Homo-oligomer: A and B are copies of this chain.
Amino acid sequence: MRKDITDEIKQIVGTAYVLEGFEDKYCYIYDASAIDAGKNGTPSLVVFPGSAEEVSCLLKLANQYNFPVIPRGAGTNVSGGTVSHSDAVILVLKRMDRILEIDERNMMAEVEVGVITARLQDEVEKRGLFYPPDPASRSFSTMGGNVAENAGGPRGAKYGVTRNYVLSLEVVLPTGEIIRTGAKTMKDVAGYDLTGLMIGSEGTLGVVTKVTVKLLPLPQAKKTMLVVFDDLGKASEAVAQVFIAGVIPATMELLDNIYIRAIEDYVHLGLPVDAEAVLLIEVDGDEIALGPQIESIKQICTRQGATSVRVASNAKEADELWVARRSAFAALARVKPTIIGEDCTVKRDKIPQMVRKIRAIAEKYNVIIAVLGHAGDGNLHATLLADERDKDEMARIEGAIDEILTSTLEVGGTLTGEHGIGRVKRKFLPLQLGPGGMKAMKAIKLALDPNNILNPGLGFGD
């Protein structure tokens, strides 16, 4: 970066908030994807703006001198959305971390973009309110990152994803204008849905600086159960039948045999290591309704051939059941050091077909692929286990991922349910969207960001 531009940037945010040294900058080039973040060089600067106004000045400068800007929260995305390159300025948004308002009467909250998701959740839960989106990263990820990736989580089938809760955003457009999208109301149809357009746009259409979300009342109670199946098809059929019976569980986590074995090996819960699938199911809502719901699920699972059904009778027992799910990734890390989580998403009743395809792909490429799924919404986390030092294995992993993605599209699914496209899946996006869809995306990107300043390289506009 030219010294005079660096000086201008320092004037905007203050010298203390600009990193220039190689080691300092190196801490901000990665994300949680498996992309080799160092191979594209270190960014020219890492900058920590403290306000929308500062972001606006920085973006105007970027247009003037034509340098790319990569907005970044905690870098927890797994899609390569915030991997940097050598000429970029990294915009770390974590300084803007105030919870601005929790409006209990109207059940809304407004936060700055750098607020950690779990912190918002904890604060609203203290007041009897509930912000449902629960990405696995919620203890570290920022609300801005959640907006950028339209983060989901296990509760998606019942409660939806980030998109379903964001009412309004403060956004700095790529050309520097600070706008307010949407309205702080429960309904709004005044003009194009710019809020929705920003959500999931992965930092390419604007830099979000404030987020207003709607909240729900905290459910009165919840109940948890663990159901074991000797056949994945039966487990999937049980999932379908539960919904058909009119019960919508808050979570319905499916773990396959590879997960079960790895978890049992690690935490010794007495899981049946020969089982093909377990379902970890949680229902929540009015306390009086939960008993009948659990009973209904139990009957359905038994009818579908469950080999065991364990209902937690109190919070402590529920917590023990959740140990299996919570230790899942750590358990796999003991098997292989490199874990790559996919998130192909299909219709609920395509789960067995998709899992069969994943197994065939694992065999074909001679790699280990475990499957964990948010079964209620068909969001399957095919989890590839490898050792990144083994170049041959990594090549096979890459082949397997490619085939998982094309197979997902073949069964009518989407490349990504909740992780985003990023730099990881960009080459597949045209297969899903077609030339017309790609053209529309590029036109929108060019319209809002004519100099392609914001997070270039995702294939959305370039």
Contacts and interface: CB of A to CB of B under 8 A. Distances in A.
Interface of A: 103-108, 128, 149-150, 152, 156-157, 160-161, 163-164, 173, 177-181, 183-194, 196-197, 199-201, 205, 216-218, 220, 240, 243-248, 285-286, 288-289, 292-293, 345-349, 374, 376-379, 412-421, 425, 429, 432-437, 439-441, 443-448, 460
Contacts of A441: 191-192, 194
Contacts of A425: 190
Contacts of A161: 187, 189
Given A184-B412, A196-B197, A216-B248, 5 more contacts: A105-B348, A150-B193, A185-B378, A186-B377, A289-B289
A427 B185 CA distance: 21
A401 to B, nearest CB: 15
A216 to B, nearest CB: 8
A457 B94 CA distance: 42
A23 to B, nearest CB: 34
B200 A193 contact: yes
Copies per assembly:
2
Contact of A105 (B244, B248, B412, B439): B244
Contacts of A243: 107, 217
A173 B193 CA distance: 17
Contacts of A181: 437
26 contacts: A105-B240, A149-B189, A161-B189, A164-B164, A173-B439, A179-B440, A180-B437, A185-B345, A185-B377, A185-B413, A186-B345, A186-B417, A187-B374, A189-B419, A190-B416, A190-B421, A190-B432, A191-B441, A192-B201, A193-B201, A196-B196, A197-B444, A217-B245, A285-B286, A288-B292, A289-B289
B184 A347 contact: yes
A343 B415 CA distance: 39
Q: Which 8 A-B pairs have the closest CB atoms?
A: A196-B196, A177-B436, A187-B417, A447-B447, A217-B246, A186-B377, A183-B414, A179-B436
Contacts of A185: 345-347, 377-379, 413-414, 417
Nearest to A216: B248
A324 to B, nearest CB: 23
Given A421-B191, A434-B180, A443-B447, A349 B106 contact: yes
A186 B157 contact: yes
Nearest to A425: B190
A106 B411 CA distance: 14
Contacts of A419: 189
Given A106-B349, A192-B441, A217-B246, A186 B286 contact: no
B413 A183 contact: yes
A161 B188 CA distance: 10
Given A186-B379, A345-B183, A444 B448 contact: yes
A104 B128 CA distance: 35
Most buried by B among A347, A418, A432: A347
A204 B25 CA distance: 45
A440 B182 CA distance: 13
B189 A420 contact: yes
Given A246-B217, A289-B285, A433-B179, A197 B193 contact: yes
Most buried by B among A156, A244, A414: A414
Nearest to A374: B187
Nearest to A199: B193
A275 B435 CA distance: 60
Nearest to A220: B246
Nearest to A376: B186
Contact of A192 (B200, B346, B379, B435): B200
A376 B185 CA distance: 11
A377 B181 CA distance: 19
A133 to B, nearest CB: 11
A440 B173 contact: yes
Most buried by B among A188, A189, A419: A189
Contact of A289 (B173, B184, B288): B288
Nearest to A176: B436
A444 B248 contact: no
Contacts of A443: 447-448
Contacts of A218: 246
